[in-house]
Amino acid sequence: MKVVKVVGMGGSMKPGSTSIRTLEAALHAAAAAGAETELLDIRLLDLPIYTPDLEPTTGVRRLVEAVAAADGLLWCSPVYHGSISGAFKNALDWLELLSSREPKYLTDKVVGLISTAGGVQGLQAINTMEFVVRALRGWTVPLVLPLDRTWQAIDVDGTIRDEGLKNKLWQLGQEVVRAASRLSARA
């Protein structure tokens, strides 16, 4: 049986962000379900602003190759002004380089969605990411995690102290592996 690869993409430009901590927890669950995992921290990729015809940097190539090789993805963006962050949107824009691949974009890839908000606007970022997944021909799993007031659930050191949140992240990581296994077996 093929080992499923799940790539987590997200974070923010803030070191130790709650979005990267939640993404790590979901990836841990995916690994426990038997997946090979990889974390793409937006801040560490150091992506230039997407510009058509710009020569891809090392970070851009790493992003594009990891997403192309993935069977499943976990995306996590902080919520900025009711939507995804500019840095996360920029990473998504670089996925345009997958347009010349076969299959194109995110065809036959499963995506789990997480947003982290300081307030209560988490679902709007989830909706934005879902529109992008659909535009890129991917599939989202039904379980989505719009996480509001994450500063109350995650300590400054990154420890997730809310057991309910830990369980939801575990479920999402496992669900992405299960769905990706089924879809990749059919592809």
Question: What's 121's domain CATH number?
Answer: 3.40.50.360
Cα→Cα distances 167→137, 160, 171, Å = 29, 11, 6
Measured in whole angstroms, how far is the alpha carbon of residue 146 from the centre of its chain?
13
Alpha helices (runs of H) in the chain, residue ranges in sequence order: 18-32, 42-45, 58-69, 86-94, 122-135, 163-186
Number of domains in the chain: 1
Residue 29 phi/psi, 5-degree rounding, is -65, -40
CA dist., res. 145 & res. 116, Å (int): 8
The pLDDT value recorded for residue 23 is 94
Side-chain half-sphere exposure of 111, counting CA atoms within 13 A:
27
Residues in the chain, overall count: 187
- Range name among 24-38, 89-103, 156-170 with the lowest pLDDT average: 156-170
Q: Which residue has the higher pLDDT, 67 or 162?
A: 67
Query: Sign of torsion, CA 63 69 75 76?
Result: negative
- Work out whether strand 110-116 and strand 145-147 pair parallel, antiparallel, or are unpaired: parallel
Closest to 125 in 3D by CA, of 111, 97, 146:
146
Helix (H, G, I), strand (E, B) or coil at 84: strand
Structural domain of 63: 5-186
The pLDDT value recorded for residue 5 is 98
Query: What percentage of the chain has pLDDT greater than the value 90?
Result: 72
CA dist., res. 172 & res. 30, Å (int): 8
- Work out whether strand 83-84 and strand 72-80 pair parallel, antiparallel, or are unpaired: antiparallel
Does 1 have pLDDT greater than 70? no
Q: What is the pTM of this model?
A: 0.94
